[in-house]
Structure 1
Amino acid sequence: MKALQGVEGRAEWVEQEIPTCDVGEIRIKVAAAGLNRADLLQRAGLYPPPPGASETLGLECSGIVSEVGPGCDWQVGDRVCALLAGGGMAQEVVVNAQHALPVPDGLSLHEAAAIPEVYATAWLNLFQLAALKPGEKVLLHAGASGVGSAGIQLCKAFGNPCWVSVGSADRLAYCESLGAQGGVLRGEDGPNALRDFAPFDVILDPVGGNYVGLNLDVIALDGRWVNIGLMGGRKAEVDLAKVLGKRVQLIGSTLRSRDDQFKADLLRDLHAQVWPLFAEGRLKPQLERTFAAKDAELAFAELASNKVNGKVVLVVDESLS
């Protein structure tokens, strides 16, 4: 089968052995796969997959179940989307059956490819790790990103006013159209304007580095600050007096390297708490653009431009939609 891998800094389709389907696993004929920043890093050789995970790019995909291993409740022909540690950008992928979810009613397979990773990430960090309560205020850095757009919609659905930091006025308007109360623009003195909306009970931060001081200034007493990325650098000076004085909980969080049972439990909760909201129309996949398989490099360039609102999806099999 063909699979997309990072080769000398480029995404290239290579021939790969078809994986076997074992106990507790299902095989998916892949329709489409969502792109994430982790794929950009892996493509560049900067983020190797966890031990035992596929070298193929792709942390989420959608498709049709084509084989069911022993001990699984899925049926051949089921429409599914899946959370992966790797392997989604291939003609077929074998996945732990508990890491797949049914495509929500009313969604296409292309739309479904855009939801597992970002909604799992937003739900895990905002509602499980940060234990967000109704009415608490949220700050989402990179609010127009895939995770940010999912986080805004979840905050609106569960009664949490949220604000964002973004890179342009157009992106701020996009976030407000999803339900954000407001926000600020990145660069110059823009982020400092967040003080006008502070304090925030929960901060979801994929930036780190140069936002550390700002986060400590705007976080509330007993606030929870969840760091999920290092776009602004991995090192910073931290005023521990503010950490102590505000009783701040700083939580470092990753999802890709979590064990199978953790992911299974997370997806079970996601299915129960979040999936019904898609059928009700309260949540919508933010699919900005799809690319054909042959245009994989263009898809990665689009994501790397930092101008994408929501998600970019790579269509692997055009016959499936």
Structure 2
Amino acid sequence: MKALQGVEGRAEWAEQPVPACDVGEIRIRVAAAGLNRADLLQRAGLYPPPPGASPILGLECAGVVSEVGAGCDWKVGDRVCALLAGGGMAEQVVIDARHALPIPDGVSLHEAAALPEVYATAWLNLFQLGALTPGEKVLLHAGASGVGSAAIQLCKAFGNPCWVSVGSADRLAYCESLGAQGGALRGDDGLQALRDFAPFDVILDPVGGNYAALNLQLLALDGRWVNIGLMGGRQAELDMALLLAKRAQLTGSTLRNRDDQFKADLLRDLQQHVWPLFAEGRLRPQLQGTYPVKDAEAAFAALASNQINGKLVLVIDDSLS
């Protein structure tokens, strides 16, 4: 089979060994794979896959089940999307059967490829680790990103007013169209405007470093700050007295290196609480564009520009729709 790997800072579409399908696993013929910042980092040699995970790029995909191992409830021909530790940007992938979800009614294979990673991340960090309850206020940094787009819609669906930080007025308008109450533009101390909406009960932050001090100031008493990335650097100086006074909780969170059972439990939770909202029209995929796999480098460049609202997807097999 052919698959996409990061080789010396570029994405290379090349022959790879075909994985075996064992007990408890399914093989998916991949239609499309979602792009994530983790793929950018891995392509650059900065984010190796966890031990035992595929070195092939791609943390999520959608396609059609082509083989079913013993002990699985899926059937050949089922349309699924999947959360992966790697391997999604390939003609086929073999996964733990518990890490696949049915594609919601009315959602295409291309759209479905953009769902698992961002909705799993948003649900895990807002509602499980962040312990968000109805009515609590949320701040989402990088609100127009794939995770931000999913998080805004989840906040609206579950009764949580949310605000965002973004890079432009157009991106703020996009976030407001999804349900954000408002927000602020980064740069030239624009983020200080977030003080007008504070305090926040939960802050979801993929930036880290240079947002850390402000996050602590914006937190409510007993607030929860969940950090999921380091786009703004890995070093920060914090007023620990303020952390104590606010009884704040600071949680560092990653999803890719969680164990199989954790991911199975998370996806079961998603299927129960989140997936029905797609059929109801309360959630919708935010797919800005698709690229054929031969144009993978252009897709990675577009993602790296930080000008994408929502998600980008690589089309692996355009005969599947």
Residue correspondence of structure 1 range 146-295 to structure 2 within 5 A: 146-295=146-295
SS of equivalent to 1:147 = helix
Quote the residue 2:42 is aligned against. Answer: 42
SS of equivalent to 1:101 = strand
How far is 1:86 from its partner? 0.1
Deviations 1:147-203 (A, max 9, x none): 000000000000000000000000000000000000000111101110000000000
Deviations 1:281-317 (A, max 9, x none): 1000000000001100001001000000000000000
SS of equivalent to 2:216 = helix
Could you tell me how far apart the structure 1 residues matched to 2:48 and 2:293 are? 22
How far is 1:31 from its partner? 0.2
Question: Residue 208 of structure 1 aligns to which amino acid in structure 2?
Answer: G
Quote the residue 1:305 is aligned against. Answer: 305
Give runs of ≥4 in structure 1 deviating > 6 Å. Answer: none
Question: Residue 272 of structure 1 aligns to which amino acid in structure 2?
Answer: Q
Question: Residue 128 of structure 2 aligns to which amino acid in structure 1?
Answer: Q
Could you tell me how far apart the structure 2 residues matched to 1:81 and 1:93 are? 11
Residue correspondence of structure 1 range 107-118 to structure 2 within 5 A: 107-118=107-118
SS of equivalent to 1:184 = strand
Quote the residue 1:5 is aligned against. Answer: 5
Could you tell me how far apart the structure 1 residues matched to 2:250 and 2:218 are? 14
Could you tell me how far apart the structure 2 residues matched to 1:297 and 1:283 are? 30
SS of equivalent to 1:213 = helix
Quote the residue 2:17 is aligned against. Answer: 17
Computed over aligned residues only, the root mean square deviation of the Cα atoms, in angstroms, reads 0.3
Question: Residue 54 of structure 1 aligns to which amino acid in structure 2?
Answer: S
- Aligned pair count reads 321
2:158 aligned with 1:142: no
Could you tell me how far apart the structure 2 residues matched to 1:224 and 1:257 are? 22
SS of equivalent to 1:56 = coil
Quote the residue 1:63 is aligned against. Answer: 63
Could you tell me how far apart the structure 2 residues matched to 1:242 and 1:211 are? 15
Could you tell me how far apart the structure 2 residues matched to 1:85 and 1:216 are? 31
SS of equivalent to 2:188 = coil
Question: Residue 228 of structure 1 aligns to which amino acid in structure 2?
Answer: I
SS of equivalent to 1:62 = strand
Where do 5+ consecutive residues of structure 1 fail to align?
none
SS of equivalent to 1:217 = helix
2:32 aligned with 1:32: yes
Calculate the TM-score normalised by the size of structure 1. Answer: 1.00
Could you tell me how far apart the structure 2 residues matched to 1:5 and 1:186 are? 33
Where do 5+ consecutive residues of structure 2 fail to align?
none
Could you tell me how far apart the structure 2 residues matched to 1:23 and 1:314 are? 29
Question: Residue 260 of structure 2 aligns to which amino acid in structure 1?
Answer: D
Could you tell me how far apart the structure 1 residues matched to 2:219 and 2:206 are? 16
- Percent identical among aligned pairs is 83
Deviations 1:260-280 (A, max 9, x none): 000000000000000000000
Deviations 1:87-118 (A, max 9, x none): 00000000000000000001100000000000
How far is 1:14 from its partner? 1.3
SS of equivalent to 1:151 = helix
Quote the residue 2:81 is aligned against. Answer: 81
Quote the residue 1:93 is aligned against. Answer: 93
Deviations 1:196-250 (A, max 9, x none): 0000000000000000110011100000000000000001111100100000000
Could you tell me how far apart the structure 1 residues matched to 2:280 and 2:295 are? 34
Could you tell me how far apart the structure 2 residues matched to 1:306 and 1:175 are? 15
How far is 1:255 from its partner? 0.1
Quote the residue 1:121 is aligned against. Answer: 121
Could you tell me how far apart the structure 2 residues matched to 1:225 and 1:117 are? 20
Could you tell me how far apart the structure 1 residues matched to 2:24 and 2:252 are? 30
SS of equivalent to 2:30 = strand
Could you tell me how far apart the structure 1 residues matched to 2:144 and 2:221 are? 27
SS of equivalent to 1:50 = coil
Could you tell me how far apart the structure 2 residues matched to 1:161 and 1:301 are? 33
Deviations 1:119-172 (A, max 9, x none): 000000000011100000000000000000000000000000000000000000
SS of equivalent to 2:22 = coil
Calculate the TM-score normalised by the size of structure 2. Answer: 1.00
